[in-house]
Structure 1
Amino acid sequence: MRKVTATIGKNPYKTTITNGTHQVIADEPIPHGKDLGPTPYDLLLNALGACICMTVKMYADRKNWDLEELKVELTQNRVYHEDCIECSSEEGYVHVIDKCITIRGNLNDKQRNRLLEIANKCPVHKTLSKEILIR
């Protein structure tokens, strides 16, 4: 497992994130930051979108299915728990991630439906769907 390091200096919110071999800049949009990179929530959605794409691609490749392209669009919003019909939280806000998946390729309906099922089984999706302990 790689260690991720986030470092911030005097630049208002520009944060450099490294994992040993790769570097990413995160920032807040103007007027708070300088919009030099994705926000922390954008990075979270990036991780989920990348994981969904990679998991579905691996599955399709293993089955030798003709998946030409998979596009995952994600948005994140915070809603008050009372406004969320399908949520079980009883206080505060609930973070809702909406996803839209577009599949291109020579696939039948059964294959497409299976790929949509697999999308919900990516490791990041599983992590975000379960209890998380941050120490």
Structure 2
Amino acid sequence: MIRCQSQERPYRTIFTNGTFSGACDAPPDKGGEGDGFRPHELLEAALGSCLAMTLSMYARHHRLPLEEVTVSVTLERPEAGTSVFACDIRLTGDLSETARARLLRAARACPVRKTLAGQLVVVEKD
């Protein structure tokens, strides 16, 4: 569970899982101070981090010589109701083309990717 709490400054919000904390804020052009991640950046980070972890786990399990994974994610919203996560995955290591293809196929098993690709329902609790 993540707990989010607004701060005295407009829009700044602290979030924590009880062990680690971070901050969100709106950019200055939206009335915030830009003192933290924007909420959509956290969605991008969740997907990119999960992709990197999934690929690292897959490579370790299959003993592939993957040295590093770098994932860049950009959330694009080309029209109302459509969200596109554009992911650029860079693999470093002495990998054959077959190993690279296996890794990129394994990226489809990323749990956050599966969550975002499914039907989403948001429920407010009292």
TM-score with structure 2 setting the length:
0.92
8 A Cα contact 2:4 2:15, kept in partner: yes
User: How far apart in 1 are the matches of 2:62 and 2:81?
Assistant: 41
Map of 1:110 onto structure 2: 98
Structure 1's unaligned 5+ residue stretches are: 81-91
The SS at the match of 2:26 is coil
Map of 1:21 onto structure 2: 19
Alignment length (residue pairs)? 122
Matched AA of 2:40:
Y
8 A Cα contact 2:73 2:86, kept in partner: yes
Q: How large is the Cα RMSD of the aligned pairs? A: 1.0
Shift of 1:93: 3.0
User: How far apart in 2 are the matches of 1:96 and 1:50?
Assistant: 17
Shift of 1:69: 1.1
2:82 is the alignment partner of 1:94:
yes
Structure 2's unaligned 5+ residue stretches are: none
TM-score with structure 1 setting the length:
0.86
Q: Cα deviations across residues 32-52 of structure 1 (Å, max 9, x unaligned)?
A: 211111100000010000000
